[in-house]
Structure 1
Amino acid sequence: MKKFALIGAAGYIAPRHMRAIKDTGNVLVSAYDINDSVGVIDSISPDSEFFTEFERFQEHAYRLKRQSATALDYVAVCSPNYLHHAHIAAGLRLGCDVICEKPLVPNREVLDELAQIEKETGKRVYNILQLRHHQAILDLKAKVAEEQREEKYEVELTYITSRGKWYMESWKGDPRKSFGVATNIGVHFYDMLHFVFGKLQRNVVHYADNYKAAGFLEYEKARVRWFLSIDANDLPDSVKGKKPTYRSITVNGKEMEFSEGFTDLHTVSYQEILAGRGYGIEDARHCVETVEYIRSAPVVSAAPGEGHPVLARLSI
């Protein structure tokens, strides 16, 4: 049984980590968040300590570290994106391996810094790249590998996840803290595209604002037109009023809708990490570099055949 601490316990994604810790037969020893709306702990890990000041959380962890029987093994990081680096570094220096939500960090410079801290501490950082465990994505990857086409696949990626007015009032709506909509809701999709279709060769942005973004990516094996949005008005008519989220990949004109099958992917990710097969810094580098470029890239008009169909409805 491994002993876990969790940073960011009041966040949206934290309960999935809590359940993954429990479902893999391990124990949540302590949790931290500046907010105290963490009643979910009662139904998952009621014996966990809880702190609203990081200094008290950290001192508790140091006390546990004095004896091997109580020392923490892992720190799970579910805090706002801009705090990931600091919280990962703190976990490593506590003598723990760290499991962090996406996006791991904002850019390659910080990735290199974390790699240095790994060397200094002898501990590892793991990133939750859950789409690598989704069965539909694994099936697509196997199909691409088997077919070995000379021509590149023509792909359309659409991800629309409705968010209310609260979103822009939270840290997620502040690009200094979330790093923008393409990074916050899209980074693991870019990882998935790399996972399936190989190295990125071209990266072009066609539209970008606080609510949505669109562009074109060319990989070794695919040409990808992508669109990401938090605006419910962008949902297809077939989905509006029925579901708040729409995820779709079209490969050579054939749609692979994969809105289902996400429920247990964090638990699968934890199982793989605990078995020594987790995804680390170098696995995350490709998608981190992809979103780093998207944030600073100039917005240009789409070349023929490279624009996502939704671009026709957007005013640039």
Structure 2
Amino acid sequence: MAGLRRTLRTVLKNYNSPCFHVKRLLNYTGQCYDGDSDPGPIFINPDVQGILQSLTRVDYDRVFRKRKLGTKKPSDPEYKFMTDAELQEALRAAKERAAELLQIPPVVKVRNTEAKVVCKDPELQGLESSRMVFTDITFGVQDEQRIVVVREPDGTLREAEWAVRQRVNQTYFPDKAKQMQVPRMFLDSYLERLLDKNEYEYVLDRACVQFEPDDPDYQRLISIVYQHLNDHNKFELLRSTRHFGSLTFYLVWNRNIDNLLLELIQTMRIEEADQLLALYSLIHQKRFEGEDPLDRVQSYIEQAAGKKGSLELAVQAYKDVAARRAVEAL
């Protein structure tokens, strides 16, 4: 018990440590889904999910590639002789497994971090010189639903701050994948170096393990990663990963799709560019008229684009290449 008391004292002493907050990186300001609109219902809309999954692209070589995670030794490849029926079943199982691996992390509104006051008992003021934490340690209760309250030295009893709640949960019901303190890789120059090395997927994977989707620190962190990736046009590094859908949703939600749209046009993916604009229309209720995808892209450039010049040049280049290919096909 003495050891547990010391641990809880550490929890309370350090709950507001700078390590609990993702710091600002370079010129990027962390953003949260904290506006009046809740992105959750839009994100789970079947039409939105369908577009996000389509834009992700399923490259099985990328999905099932060997990754250096440092947790286990790579296994030797296994070769089998199969009948046609067995091969089709194996392909079906591979598609299901790929769909699981490409499941997009949830996009939800940031949580309300305000700690509700339960009661005030001034007669208890001075009884203790430090704060006391009371925790329901019933097994099987979800962490976010577990009752955790704090008694202040002035007698106020209130719900625990989220930082305290998370650390107490980790103390009583440790998750081996999580760390008690926020990993240093998410702070200052450590994160900067990782992003400069294009380790976007690694950072996002680790963030999904350490934080919950509605955690302000999580949302600020991934927004910095997305902004850095978008500014450096490294979209291909997240394609065929579970994070491309949430990246695309973030860019569309914040009306910042010019770089992604430009990349799709330059790589002759005009149908995907049209899907991106369809997603923009679903989220922002803005239609781009046109008889074909290229017309709708042109409509977006005229109405909403910030990089009109670059996009217009890309569209013209696309038309030239398409015309040349049409002639060569004759």
Identify the TM-score tier after normalising by the shorter chain.
under 0.3
Greater RCO, CA 8 A, separation 6+: 2
Point out the structure with the larger strand share. 1
State the TM-score, normalized to the length of structure 1. 0.24
TM-score, structure 2 as length reference = 0.23
Identify the structure with the greater helix proportion: 2
